[in-house]
């Protein structure tokens, strides 16, 4: 009865307050007071699950609590506990972090919904980072949702080795379960913000894009989204095995003297700051990531794609021209990339050195770009297309005009300001990205990227009026290239180079292209 009453008054609450510039509405848990940003209604820090601390640490997210009165939803809530970086040092942290934020241009509409999943190597990140401000995207006629999920050891510790066995509940991948809980909340509530729950697009970058790939394969996420965008998603890399995950858990438990029947109780009693300190010291938490738990992630993600055991939805994916900026942060070196070629090194070098000799460092970095990211994007797009769903691939190489003398390529995550716009470029990681001034041409590229992304969210097809045609990846292996000269579709773009990475994946998995 209470929920029915809240639903009935939701529109009235908004109408009553909109004239004062302070939008309000009600969700299933209670009433919300939001704010406005450049004509867009914004509601922040809405709980989508209960706080995952104490006895609920390393448990599946529980239902979000109800509240009485009107909840102030004008400020971001805390991000989940993690080591502080230049990007997050000024943001509050708490285990009470499972909240989301909504930007809506029309609370009375039935608009497409874009749900963002942040990156950060599964160890960092948060929805309060200003680079993820949804205002500019929402102006394109979509609703934007961002949310927090647990990261690091608190989000991705596998407890099966410590005896956690709760019927009907996975014992790992808590961060992914948070993502699924957020999507379920969207299904139940987004219509109250003017959104269409049947037209939800998940999109993310780096670890967020890997999460998108994971959710594409997860039976637990089936039906919660209608489209997916994976930006720099490392699509063919191996998913962490359960054996590796248990080794990390054993090391963590041993470090804190947790064993026997009381091991879980001991670890749940640890202050969150002590767990984060382990990660900051690059100890046992360094390699945390989603693992093949058989429930949330039923198998190696790339192999699930290859077998067609995925959501059959439109898929947009791609990579940047200097993903090698990430190499040292995830344990790759140019030397290791070259060594992996074995007896094929001379042939592959010849492919890359048609325009002149490359140093080992340059050669290794180009291998990384094409093998780890390019092959991943084109490979997953190929698998999706084989299932009859349209897939689209991009390569992002456009450098802001005032920065072309300083950068020779677009670094990992460098496409984000073109997707979200430059409104939030005031935080450490991006603070100098466009400080030389945004030119008219830069603005035109931003506008086109946002049009493509939001068109895809609306219809499953990025194309629209006044945009260069972006064909589906199949049948001509077409990649849409954004560079300093043009935005154009190119058939078989870098396919000989990415084929090297795909061949390595094929040998490892025993599978091949469709």
Residue 223 backbone class (left: φ over 0; alpha: ψ -120 to 50; beta: rest)? left
pTM exceeding the 0.85 threshold for the entire prediction: yes
The stretches in the chain having pLDDT less than 70 are 1-21, 281-286, 426-436
Model pLDDT, residue 183: 99
Other Cβ atoms closer than 10 A to 369: 28
Model pLDDT, residue 280: 72
Model pLDDT, residue 485: 96
391 classed as catalytic: no
Please state, in angstroms and rounded to a whole number, the distance separating the CA atoms of residues 242 and 263: 19
Catalytic member of 121, 206, 211, 321: 206
Please state, in angstroms and rounded to a whole number, the distance separating the CA atoms of residues 452 and 419: 9
Q: Could you state, in order of their start, the residue ranges of all structural domains in the chain?
A: 1-313
412 classed as catalytic: yes
Domain 1-313 class in CATH: alpha beta
Helices (H), 399-488: 416-420, 440-459
Read off the tokens for 238. Answer: 């191996």
Catalytic member of 205, 279, 323, 497: 323
Model pLDDT, residue 14: 42
Model pLDDT, residue 406: 86
- Which DSSP helix (H) or strand (E) runs through 32? strand 30-33
Please state, in angstroms and rounded to a whole number, the distance separating the CA atoms of residues 115 and 289: 21
Buried b / exposed e across 443-472, counting CB within 10 Å, b at 16+? eebbbbbbbbbbbbbbebbbbeeeeeebbb
Which DSSP string do the residues of 74-89 spell out, in sequence order? Answer: SS--PBPS----TTTT
Model pLDDT, residue 154: 96
Model pLDDT, residue 142: 98
344 classed as catalytic: no
Closest CA to 396 of 461, 350, 345, 452: 452
Model pLDDT, residue 332: 93
Model pLDDT, residue 118: 98
Catalytic member of 231, 412, 415, 497: 412
């Amino acid at each position: 009865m209470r929920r029915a009453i809240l639903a009935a008054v939701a529109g009235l609450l908004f109408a009553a307050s909109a004239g004062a510039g302070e939008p309000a509405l009600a969700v299933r848990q209670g009433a919300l007071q939001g704010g406005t940003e450049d004509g867009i209604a914004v509601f922040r820090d809405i709980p989508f699950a209960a706080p995952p601390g104490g006895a609920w640490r390393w448990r599946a997210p529980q239902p979000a609590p109800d509240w009485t009165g009107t909840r102030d939803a004008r400020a971001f809530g805390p991000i989940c506990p993690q080591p502080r970086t230049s990007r997050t040092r000024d943001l509050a942290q708490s285990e009470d972090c499972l909240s989301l934020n909504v930007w809506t241009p029309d609370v009375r509409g039935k608009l497409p919904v874009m749900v963002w999943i942040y990156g950060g190597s599964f160890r960092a990140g948060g929805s309060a980072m200003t680079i993820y401000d949804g205002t500019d995207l929402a102006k394109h006629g979509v609703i934007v949702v961002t949310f927090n999920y647990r990261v690091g050891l608190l989000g991705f510790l596998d407890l099966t080795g410590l005896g956690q066995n709760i019927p009907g509940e996975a014992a790992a991948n808590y961060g992914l379960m948070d993502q699924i809980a957020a999507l379920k909340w969207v299904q139940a509530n987004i219509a109250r913000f003017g959104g269409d729950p049947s037209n939800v697009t998940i999109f993310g970058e780096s670890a967020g894009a890997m999460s998108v790939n994971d959710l594409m394969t997860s039976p637990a996420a089936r039906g919660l989204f209608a489209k997916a965008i994976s930006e720099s998603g490392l699509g063919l890399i191996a998913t962490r095995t359960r054996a590796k995950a248990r080794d990390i858990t054993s090391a963590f438990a041993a470090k804190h003297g947790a064993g026997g029947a009381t091991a879980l109780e001991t670890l749940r009693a640890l202050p969150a700051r002590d767990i984060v300190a382990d990660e900051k010291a690059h100890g046992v938490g360094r390699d945390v990531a989603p693992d093949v738990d058989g429930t949330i992630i039923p198998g190696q993600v790339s192999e699930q794609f290859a077998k067609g055991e995925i959501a059959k939805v439109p898929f947009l994916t791609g990579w940047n021209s200097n993903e090698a900026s990430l190499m040292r942060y995830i344990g790759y070196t140019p030397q290791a990339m070259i060594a992996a070629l074995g007896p094929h090194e001379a042939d592959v070098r010849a492919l890359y050195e048609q325009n002149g000799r490359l140093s080992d460092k340059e050669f290794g970095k180009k291998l990384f770009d094409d093998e780890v990211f390019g092959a991943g994007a084109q490979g997953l797009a190929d698998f999706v297309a084989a299932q009859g769903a349209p897939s689209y691939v991009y390569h992002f190489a456009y450098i802001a005009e005032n920065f072309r003398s300083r950068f020779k390529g677009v670094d990992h995550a460098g496409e984000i300001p073109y997707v979200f716009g430059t409104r939030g470029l005031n935080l450490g990681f991006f603070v100098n990205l466009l400080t030389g001034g945004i030119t008219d041409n830069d603005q035109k590229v931003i506008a086109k990227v946002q049009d493509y992304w939001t068109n895809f969210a609306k219809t499953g097809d990025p194309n629209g009026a006044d945009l260069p045609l972006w064909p589906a990846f199949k049948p001509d292996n077409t990649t849409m290239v954004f560079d300093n000269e043009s935005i154009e579709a190119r058939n078989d773009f870098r396919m000989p180079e990415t084929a090297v990475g795909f061949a390595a994946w094929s040998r490892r998995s025993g599978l091949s292209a469709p």
